[in-house]
Amino acid sequence: MNQQTVLITGGAGFLGSHLCDFLLKHGYTVICVDNLITGRLANIEHLSSNRLFKFIEQDVCEGLKIRGRVDFVLHFASLASPVDYARLPIETLKVGSLGTLNALELAHRKRAVFMMASTSEVYGDPLQNPQKEEYWGNVNPVGPRSMYDESKRFAEALTMAYHRKLGVNTRIVRIFNTYGPRMKSDDGRIVPNLITQALTGRPMTIYGDGKQTRSFCYVSDLISGIYKLMEANYHEPVNLGNPIEKNMLELANVIKEITGVDSKLVFKPLPGDDPKQRRPDITRAKSILGWSPKISLQQGLTETIRWFSDELNTD
């Protein structure tokens, strides 16, 4: 088989950089496109000498002009953390709309497979638990999270339009809470927040009463599912995440146990429109992809804490 080329937008980000690693190990040529608004060169600097890897510093919202063959376009450019999309709401909406349009146009021109990285946030504050792909969600279109939620919902609609109208070979992955090495310490999401606070001896912040739930998937599990979806001929959205539900107090206690610290818990008001439950129904991923997560929360957090400990000690 001829060498296949994958273009990854947002390739210097948390998930994008892990995708770069995985696909290079599987023999693909990888073109990483990132404007570094939230991505970091440190995430991909170890790939700079790899002849199969190319980095292009470019904003996908301004178009994508790529010479030569492209077999897959994986659109992972996004401002995915609450801190980032609250700080940069217009940029968040642009990358979900213009960025998705430009990535789809490239896939259409190159006759490439297109994958759109969507999110569990399309379900909003769900009235159904667990969330199935058929569920339409409970989203506030003008709320404090709407710039992220609605940009992803629009991106899904645009992806399906390109598939139905123009025949683009599309995939949509709905990503539930994922964690692991290369998350930023100031990311704003619960796992890096609690780990950083524990490792630096600060009180650990719990929002609301801590009974709201999330389902935490380790990054290597997610990447393997994304790869399986790349290879599958399936166009409807697919949930990828860990279906084991944990509340925030349980998560904090596991982190305290692994780090060996006894940090005080500080309770703060729950942010607006913060979902009270988040748990994927992964029946579709199991049946179509033969995928389910393997890494336990204890194992994944141990690896993540080790990485954050090294990172904080070198800063």
Domains of the chain are 5-183+216-243+278-294 (3.40.50.720)
So what's the pLDDT on residue 270?
84
> What's the CA gap between 177 and 82, in Å, rounded?
13
Q: What is the H or E stretch that residue 117 is in? A: strand 113-119
Q: Average the pLDDT over 66-94 and give the result.
A: 96
Here the tokens at position 95 are 């990358």
What's the rounded mean pLDDT across residues 189-198? 94
pLDDT given at position 314? 61
> CA nearest 59: which of 99, 86, 26, 24?
99
| pLDDT band at residue 275 under the 50/70/90 scheme | confident
The H or E element that residue 26 is part of is none
Q: Which residues are catalytic?
A: 148
Strand partners, 9: 33, 75
What's the pLDDT score for residue 289? 98
Q: Is residue 12 a contact partner of residue 39, using CB atoms and an 8 Å limit? A: yes
Nearest CA to 15 out of 115, 83, 156, 104 is that of 115
Encoded tokens for 149: 């939620």
pLDDT tier at 307 (50, 70, 90 boundaries)?
very high
Q: Which residue reads 């170890």 in tokens?
A: 46
Identify the weakest region by mean pLDDT among 101-110, 115-124, 198-207, 268-277: 268-277
In this prediction, residues 67-87 reach a mean pLDDT of 95
3-state class (DSSP) for residue 243: coil
- In this model, does residue 114 exceed pLDDT 80? yes
Mean pLDDT score of the chain: 95
Mean pLDDT, rounded, for 93-113: 98
* Residue at token pair 């001929």: 233
Average pLDDT over residues 288-292: 98
Q: Position of tokens 């638990």? A: 129
* Band of residue 186 on the pLDDT scale cut at 50, 70, 90: confident
Look at residue 257 in the predicted model and tell me its pLDDT.
95
Q: How would residue 142 be classed by pLDDT, with cut points 50, 70 and 90? A: very high
- Greater model confidence, 134 or 315: 134
pLDDT surpasses 80 at 273: no
Q: For residue 313, what pLDDT is reported?
A: 82
Does the pTM surpass 0.75? The reply is yes
Instruction: With cut-offs at 50, 70 and 90, classify the pLDDT of residue 199.
Output: very high
pLDDT above 70: percentage of residues in the chain: 99
Cα–Cα dist 96/61, whole Å? 9
Question: Which amino acid makes up residue 281?
Answer: D
- Torsion on CA atoms 180, 185, 188, 190, rounded to nearest 10: 50
Residue type, 53: F
Instruction: Reduce the DSSP state of residue 179 to 3 states and report it.
Output: strand
